[in-house]
Amino acid sequence: MSDKDRLLDKEAGKGPIKDIAWKDATKAPWYFGTGFIIFWMLLFFAVVIPLFYRLPAALSIDDGQTGEFIGERAYNTLNNLVNIGPKVLGTDANEVDAVLFLLNEIADITKNLLTDRYTIEIDVQKTSGAHIYSNMLEVYQEAQNVVVKLSPKNSTSDSYLLLNSHYDTVLTSPGAGDDGFMVAVMLEVLRVMATTHQNFEHPIVFLFNGDEEMGLQASHGFITQHKWAANCKAVINLDAGGSGGRDILFQTGPSHSWLANYYKKSAKHPFATTLAEEIFQAGLIPSDTDYRIFVEHGNIPGVDISQFINGYVYHTKYDRTDVIPRGSIQNTGDNVLGLVKALANAPELRDIKDHEEGRAIFFDYLGLFFISYSVETGNILNYSVVGVTLLLIFISMLRMSALSLLSCCQVIQQLIITLIIQIIAFVLALALPLVVAHYFDSFGLSLTYFSSPYLLIGLYIFPSLIGLSLPLILYCQSVQQNKLPTIYHLQLALHSWAIILSLLLLGMTTYGLRSGYFFTISIIFYTIPLIINLITTFHDRGFSWAGTVMSFQVIPYLYISSLIYTLYVALTPTNGRAGSASNPDIMTAGLTALGTMLCFGFLAPLINMFRRPSIVVFSLFLVSVVTMYLASSTQIGFPYRPKTNTERVMYQHVRRIFYEYDGTVSRDESGYLFNFQDRREEQPYAGVNLTGSVRTKSECDKHMMCGLPYFDERWVGNRFEGMWLPREEPIEPPIPVTLELLSKTVLDNNKTARFEFRLKGPQYMSLYIQPNEDDFVSLSNWTFSQTYLENPPPSPLTYHIYISYGSKSPSLDFTLDLSKLNGNYEVPVLEIGASGHCLGNKGDEISQSFATTFPHYAIVVDWPSTYKRYIF
């Protein structure tokens, strides 16, 4: 007799009660449902968090063995470098003190050089040049690099490995994390490589560059001009977006997947993900690194490694040595030293172009091991996993049909219904956190989790869980179980979720997104227990199959929760400096919802194994309501804390003067120009007198580039959200900017006029150049980049020439050729805005007094500047 006949006999009151499948499993007590959720939350805190912050013990100078990275020595080097203070391009600290410090450290290493095995060459490069960055042309003069080449004496290789970090810092920051940490790591790696008996084939170039913060300029000067640059075939770039903790490999290649394999073989403490690379390259993090310069202007592949934990102190005065654990520098040093040794012997460096193998998919698992494979392998894996999963789901439905009162077509109909329910759950799980984020932002309460990350549980995780579980709970309570048991309904729910993930994976694979690998992981670790349950018949024995599913879900749950936590740690501090134009809570809520769905997609349906599962939903709702109250109505939800989670306040003390065509002054005013760093804008400026302040958008509608001295591309990008606070007393910048017309010559064709100018001012200046298009005037030639001239920024932006000097006497002569059909140059044809920035100067007494009125949780970065508008 067949299984189905037995079941029909049972329906008629015949047959044994132990017939599998038809005897619906007994549900566990309701309170186990809440415990089920708590178990998985505790698993995250018990496993993921300790492994995430795990660091090796730093080796001491006395205990370290020859050839090892000595964390204590590197830490001491870092401390000495940080004691110099902020090192901004053009200051003595950067141009003299830091260079002398590096040369002394290198000289100390040279004393112990194994001269029978290696040679060492040192070069201090002063470089000038220009490159396009964002919508600006960056012109730099006399940026410095300290460059060291370590070569094996028996080497015949003319392919070099490049190792880069920068020693300059932003204004007010001592730069322990960014990027003194990596400078100290490089010095210690140089020390180990130069003083240890070992074999390596390719010379290693150590580039300590002195101008990264002002637009990646020193690296551009090196890779385009230095005598050793042409021989550099691969780069290890070391930078920071935080201070302390583990370092992350977040960019590699491009088109050289073998680099990830070398990291896999050599990094002692692997930490990496392709997802971070795709997020960074999509521009979702307001930062950039020298890696892009080397790839774009040097056409060399490499790896980009960064510090990222504790990004709250990044670019602040609190980026000091005391916030960095010694184990952190040991962790990075071990990784970098191992990678340098490996790549310095890599045969691929001999002919790098022969090893273009496409991009790599790479990730670590909780720092325990590292996985990498090519995109081609990934595509085959993704398509295979989807195919096998769909086949097993079909086999499972055949089994359900064989052991129930439904035909195969009816089971498929049930699957379709369940799939619709799960799609609704997917939408709700994503939508509910987004609604919460929008609601809080609409009341000016964004960033409530900025200093209190545990609020994310009630704000976004639990609402997402409610959306994920509620539709299926309602469906299971309403559907009749007389033809298909509860266990099969739940398995169909899991099958439906696997189908949703499979469709998403297919879409990402087709679109070329490599980060779809974490969907692959989720699907694989659902498919494996499905195979086991089918083979063992647990598939049909009460809730036995659920134990197998939960056991295998531990692996993807731990990985995906750690991945989402990594992104949270990296991205949340950036919300405090990403500007005010967009709502950062939307991104955070979306990320949290995605993580919740991936972590609990195969677990949330199992809540229906317990009696009264609605109690679980109610408990989640109750916690969410309490959390929202705490976040919105108590100090817990206030974003800022002194020293640890500060508010960034950035503004200029501006004197702006508008000159008309006849040389008269039509406007002369002073005020403070604010560039809001986060969504709350001026709302937290408790105690600051902002009477008379206006938004700068109105100025942008009237004047070229708003008629204001925007410092760099971030100021320009945030110009519509800025604020102008007028000041009655005139501001007198210590070094005003001046633009002098030296000559005006109409050329032989009588349609072109050449204007020759001289620009003088402080070490940071900008030019905004706009021909009078209403009179059909065009800019046909100039002193600067022809590429930038031929590819102007999109309207309403104008040509923006950003100029920085490492020297003390900034002066720039340049020419502009204007063409006009009627050849009449006795009327206005050109508008130029010239700005100068006195970085490091705190302004007059009034400005200094104004700066003291900001709250104690604020970090103020301000400086005097000049803006002059000319019409020629």
Contact 609, 26 (CB under 8 A): no
Q: Which of 278-282, 513-517, 574-578 has the least mean pLDDT?
A: 278-282
Q: Across all residues in the chain, what is the average pLDDT?
A: 93
Proportion of the chain above pLDDT 90, given as a percent: 86
Report the pLDDT value the prediction gives residue 748, as an integer from 0 to 100. 76
Provide mean pLDDT across the span 560-571.
Answer: 96
Report the pLDDT value the prediction gives residue 775, as an integer from 0 to 100. 77
The residues with which 237 forms a beta bridge, in sequence order, are: 164, 304
Examine the pLDDT at 19 and tell me if it is beyond 80: no
Provide mean pLDDT across the span 83-108.
Answer: 97
| H, E, C per residue of 365-396 | ECCCEEEEEEHHHHHHHHHHHHHHHHHHHHHH
Examine the pLDDT at 16 and tell me if it is beyond 50: no
Residue type, 463: P
Residues 6+ apart with CB under 8 A from 665: 657, 658, 659
pLDDT digits (tens, 9 = 90+) for 38-47: 999 999 999 9
Report the pLDDT value the prediction gives residue 689, as an integer from 0 to 100. 96
The residues with which 815 forms a beta bridge, in sequence order, are: 756
Examine the pLDDT at 810 and tell me if it is beyond 90: no
Q: Which of 6-20, 80-94, 366-380, 515-529 has the least mean pLDDT?
A: 6-20
Report the pLDDT value the prediction gives residue 485, as an integer from 0 to 100. 86
Report the pLDDT value the prediction gives residue 482, as an integer from 0 to 100. 61
Report the pLDDT value the prediction gives residue 23, as an integer from 0 to 100. 47
Contact 523, 385 (CB under 8 A): yes
What pLDDT band is residue 4 in, cutting at 50, 70 and 90?
very low
Give the chain's largest Cα–Cα span: 110
Examine the pLDDT at 10 and tell me if it is beyond 90: no
Residue 138 CA to residue 130 CA, distance in Å, equals 5
What pLDDT band is residue 281 in, cutting at 50, 70 and 90?
confident
DSSP state of 571: H
How many residues are listed for the chain in this entry? 872
Q: For residue 322, count CB atoms less than 10 angstroms from its CB and return exposed for 0-12, middle for 13-18, buried for 19 or more.
A: exposed
User: E-strand spans in 405-554?
Assistant: none
Report the pLDDT value the prediction gives residue 774, as an integer from 0 to 100. 76
Examine the pLDDT at 232 and tell me if it is beyond 60: yes
Provide mean pLDDT across the span 671-699.
Answer: 95
Examine the pLDDT at 809 and tell me if it is beyond 90: no
Report the pLDDT value the prediction gives residue 481, as an integer from 0 to 100. 63
Q: Which of 596-600, 746-750, 819-823 has the least mean pLDDT?
A: 746-750
Report the pLDDT value the prediction gives residue 55, as an integer from 0 to 100. 97
pLDDT digits (tens, 9 = 90+) for 711-728: 999 999 999 999 999 999
Structure tokens at 195: 């003083």
Examine the pLDDT at 378 and tell me if it is beyond 90: yes
pLDDT digits (tens, 9 = 90+) for 298-335: 999 999 999 999 999 999 999 999 999 999 999 999 99
Q: Calculate ∠ Cα 544-545-549, nearest 5°.
A: 125
Residue 183 CA to residue 167 CA, distance in Å, equals 7
Q: Calculate ∠ Cα 605-606-608, nearest 5°.
A: 85
Alpha helices in 574-679 (DSSP H): 584-600, 614-633
Provide mean pLDDT across the span 401-411.
Answer: 89
Residue 438 CA to residue 37 CA, distance in Å, equals 26
Report the pLDDT value the prediction gives residue 354, as an integer from 0 to 100. 85
Examine the pLDDT at 1 and tell me if it is beyond 60: no
Range list for CATH 3.40.630.10 in the chain: 71-138+154-340
Report the pLDDT value the prediction gives residue 823, as an integer from 0 to 100. 85
Report the pLDDT value the prediction gives residue 9, as an integer from 0 to 100. 39
Residue 34 CA to residue 854 CA, distance in Å, equals 46
CATH class of the domain whose range is 71-138+154-340: alpha beta
pLDDT digits (tens, 9 = 90+) for 741-782: 999 999 877 889 999 999 999 999 999 999 997 778 999 999
Look up the pTM and report it. 0.93
What pLDDT band is residue 15 in, cutting at 50, 70 and 90?
very low
pLDDT digits (tens, 9 = 90+) for 140-199: 999 999 999 999 998 899 999 999 999 999 999 999 999 999 999 999 999 999 999 999
Contact 83, 75 (CB under 8 A): no
Residue 772 CA to residue 475 CA, distance in Å, equals 67
pLDDT digits (tens, 9 = 90+) for 608-640: 999 999 999 999 999 999 999 999 999 999 999
Coil/strand/helix, residue 117: coil
Structure tokens at 421: 């329910």
Provide mean pLDDT across the span 534-561.
Answer: 94
Within 13 Å, how many C-alpha atoms sit on residue 764's CB side? 23
Examine the pLDDT at 60 and tell me if it is beyond 80: yes
- Higher pLDDT among residues 268 and 485, named by residue: 268
Report the pLDDT value the prediction gives residue 555, as an integer from 0 to 100. 97
Proportion of the chain above pLDDT 70, given as a percent: 97
Provide mean pLDDT across the span 20-25.
Answer: 48
User: E-strand spans in 796-857?
Assistant: 799-805, 811-820, 830-837
Examine the pLDDT at 133 and tell me if it is beyond 50: yes
Report the pLDDT value the prediction gives residue 480, as an integer from 0 to 100. 66
Examine the pLDDT at 18 and tell me if it is beyond 70: no
Examine the pLDDT at 93 and tell me if it is beyond 90: yes
